[in-house]
Chain A
Amino acid sequence: MTGVLLEARNIGKKFGGVQALKDVSLTIRRGEIYGLIGPNGAGKTTLFNVFTGLYPRDGGEVLFAGRPLTLESPHTVAAAGIARTFQNIRLFGNMTARENVMVGRHVRTRAGVFGAILRTPAERAEEAAIRRSASELLHYVGIADRADDLARNLSYGDQRRLEIARALATEPQLLALDEPAAGMNATETVGLRQLIEGLRKDGLTVLLIEHDVKLVMGLCDRVAVLEYGEKIAEDVPEAVKNNPKVIEAYLGTSAH
C-alpha cells in the first residue's frame, strides 16, 4: 500500500454568493496519477488554485506529506513541494526556454545580491548547477534544441512542455497539471501522454485536471469527479465511467 501524499479535508471556497467548492475531500497517494474531471464550471481550477495557494480557502485543511499545508502564498507551496502549470500557459515570454527553467530553480537555490555582485565561488558554482539542471530538464521534456529560443516563439506543444520543465525545476513531490492537453492536436497529445507516463515511472505524483476524458481514463490511476463544487465520485477510471451520477452530470438525466 502506497502512502498518502496529499489529503484535503472539507475544502470550501466562496466567491461572493457563489459556493465554488463545498466540503471537498480527497486523498492523493504517492506515485499515482490522480485525475480531476467535471463539467465546465464545476470548480476544478478553483480547487487547484486553493491547493497551490493562489486563492485562500474558506474552510477545511490540507495535509501534504503528513504536514498541514499553510497555503499562505504560492511560493511557500512551491517550497513545500507542489508545482503547477496553468490552463492558459503562463511562461516568461521574453526569456529563453532555458532561462524559464532556471527561474524554476529559484526556490531551491540561495544566492543573494552580494553573492551575485561579488561573484563568489559559491554563487558561481550554484549558477553552473542551475544551468546544468535546466539543460537536463529541457532534455527530459524533449525540447533541448529550443533551449536558447524565446519562450514566446515556441510552438504551443513545446510551450506546454516548457511549463512542465519549469515546474519540475522546483523539485516537486506533486506536479499539478491544469488541462495540459487543452488546444493540443492528436500528435501533441500522444507525446504529452508519454511524458506524463514517464513522470510516473520516475516516481512523481501527478494531479491532472483534464477535459479530454479519453486521456484521463487511459492515464489516471484514480479519478475524482466534481460537479457544482462537490465531489460526486472518486474511484478507479472503470468504476467512475459507469457511475450513474457521473453519467448524469455529463449527459444529463436519461429520458424515461
Chain B
Amino acid sequence: MGWSKKEKLGLACIAVALIALPFVLAMAGTAWVRITNFAVLFVLLSLGLNIVVGFAGLLDLGYVAFFAVGAYVYALLASPHFGLHLPFWLILPLGAAVAGIAGAVLGAPTLRLRGDYLAIVTLGFGEIVRIFMNNLSAPVNITNGPKGINLIDPFRLGDFSFSANSGALSGPIKYYYFLLLVLLAVIVINRRLQDSRIGRAWVAIREDEIAAKAAGINTRNIKLLAFAMGASFGGIAGGMFAAIQGFVSPESFILNESIMILAMVVLGGMGNIWGVIAGAALLSFMPELLRYTVEPAQKALFGRMLVDPEVLRMLIFGLALVLTMRFRPAGLWPETRHKRELDADRK
C-alpha cells in the first residue's frame, strides 16, 4: 500500500520538523534533547509492545524485561566490567536477537493463556528478569547486582564518538539522529508486517483464536513470533538506552516501566502505529513538561509552594489518563478499523 499525496506532504513537514527539532530544543537546554531521546526510546518500546498487545491481542505486563535484556547485553559486551568493548553495530542486533529469544521463551509456556492470566504470568516474568539482574553478582559476578554496570561505551564509529561534542553537534543530538533513523526503520517494519500474511494472522488470533485455528493458522508459532518480534524491538531500545545512559542497573526495569509502556500503547490507540507513537510521545513529555511548569506556576499564583511538584505532577498525569480513557476509550488515535466500527454504530 502506498502513501496518498496528503500523507506525503504531511510526512515531509514532519521530517523537516524532526530534523530541526534538536537545535530548537538545544536552545532551551541540552536536557530537553536528552528528554526527547528518552521519548524516542519509549516510542520504540511502545511500537514493540504494540505488536504483542495491539496486533496479536496478547496482554503483556512484563515487557520491560526485554528492554532490560537488550540493555544488559550491551552493557556486558561494551564496558570495563568484563573488559569487552565490542562495536555497537554488532551488539545492537545481538541484543535484539537475545531479547527475541527471551520473548519466545516467555511465550512458550503461556500459549494457552489469554487476558488476565497471561498478564499475570508476563508480570511475573518481568519481575524474574529484574531479580536475576539484581542477584547475578555471586558466586560469579555477571551483572554486578544492584550496583549496576558503569562506564558503558558510547556508540563509536572509528574516531567518531557519539558522546563527545563535535562542533554544533552535541552528543545527545547525535544520538537523537541515530534514534530517529532506528525509529524510521521500526515504523517501516511495523507497517509492512501489519499488511502481511503474518500481520493478518496476528489480528485473526486477536479477533477469534478458534476461528483462526480452523482457518489454518498455526496459532502456536504465530503467537511465539509475535512475542519474539515485539521483544526484539525492546532489545534494540535497551541497547541504545545503555549506550546513551552509560550506566544500567536493575532499578531502571521495574514493573512501573512496563505499565507505563502499556499505558502509552492503550492511550494512543492499540493497533494503530501512529496512535501508539503519539501516545508514547505524549506520556514521555507530559511528566517532564509538568516538572518544569508546576513549580513556577504555583509560585506565580500563590507566591509559595502549596503542593509538592512531584505529587501534583503525578496527580495531573493520572487525571489526564483517566479522562482520556473516559472520553476516548479506544485511545486518542484508534486503529481505523475500530473507528469505522464506531461510526457504523452511530448511523
Q: A91-B211, A116-B196 in contact; A107/B217 too (CB < 8 A)?
A: yes
| Residues of chain B contacted by A170 (CB below 8 angstroms) | 215-216
How does the 8 Å CB contact mask read for B191-219 relative to A, with 1 for contact and 0 for none? 01101111111011001101111111111
A12 to B90, CA, bound (A): 57
Q: A92-B203, A94-B207 in contact; A152/B341 too (CB < 8 A)?
A: yes
Q: What are 9 A-B contacts with C-beta separation under 8 Å?
A: A54-B214, A86-B214, A90-B210, A103-B200, A112-B198, A113-B198, A116-B198, A123-B196, A150-B344
B107 to chain A, nearest CB (A): 15
The answer to whether B208 and A116 have CB atoms under 8 Å apart is no
The answer to whether B213 and A75 have CB atoms under 8 Å apart is yes
Q: Does any Cβ of B come within 8 Å of A69's Cβ? A: no
| Residues of chain B contacted by A112 (CB below 8 angstroms) | 198
The answer to whether A103 and B201 have CB atoms under 8 Å apart is yes
| Residues of chain B contacted by A73 (CB below 8 angstroms) | 213, 218
The answer to whether B214 and A74 have CB atoms under 8 Å apart is yes
| Residues of chain A contacted by B225 (CB below 8 angstroms) | 113
How does the 8 Å CB contact mask read for A68-106 relative to B, with 1 for contact and 0 for none? 000001110011000110100011111100010011111
A237 to B211, CA, bound (A): 31
A88 to B212, CA, bound (A): 15
Q: Does any Cβ of A come within 8 Å of B114's Cβ? A: no
A109 to B338, CA, bound (A): 28
A52 to B211, CA, bound (A): 12
Interface size on B, residues (CB 8 A): 32
| Residues of chain B contacted by A106 (CB below 8 angstroms) | 197, 200-201, 204, 215-217
The answer to whether A116 and B199 have CB atoms under 8 Å apart is yes
B interface residues, Cβ below 8 angstroms from A: 189, 192-193, 195-201, 203-204, 207-208, 210-219, 225, 229, 335, 337-338, 340-341, 344
Q: Does any Cβ of B come within 8 Å of A57's Cβ? A: no
The answer to whether A111 and B214 have CB atoms under 8 Å apart is no
Q: Give 3 nearest A-B pairs by CB, closest first.
A: A107-B216, A116-B196, A78-B216
Closest to A126 in B: B197
A116 to B191, CA, bound (A): 10
Q: Does any Cβ of B come within 8 Å of A30's Cβ? A: no
User: Which residue of the partner chain, among B189, B215, B216, B337, contacts A150 with CB atoms under 8 Å?
Assistant: B337
B236 to chain A, nearest CB (A): 14
User: Which residue of the partner chain, among B200, B213, B214, B219, contacts A95 with CB atoms under 8 Å?
Assistant: B200
A112 to B200, CA, bound (A): 12
Q: Does any Cβ of B come within 8 Å of A119's Cβ? A: yes
Most chain A beta-carbon contacts within 10 A, residue among B207, B210, B225, B338: B207
B210 to chain A, nearest CB (A): 6
| Residues of chain B contacted by A94 (CB below 8 angstroms) | 203, 207, 335, 337-338, 341
The answer to whether B208 and A113 have CB atoms under 8 Å apart is no
The answer to whether B211 and A92 have CB atoms under 8 Å apart is yes
User: Which residue of the partner chain, among A83, A103, A108, A117, contacts B212 with CB atoms under 8 Å?
Assistant: A103
The answer to whether B197 and A111 have CB atoms under 8 Å apart is yes
A84 to B203, CA, bound (A): 20
Q: Does any Cβ of B come within 8 Å of A40's Cβ? A: no
Most chain A beta-carbon contacts within 10 A, residue among B197, B219, B338: B197
Most chain B beta-carbon contacts within 10 A, residue among A86, A94, A126: A94
| Residues of chain B contacted by A75 (CB below 8 angstroms) | 213, 216-219
Q: Does any Cβ of B come within 8 Å of A127's Cβ? A: yes
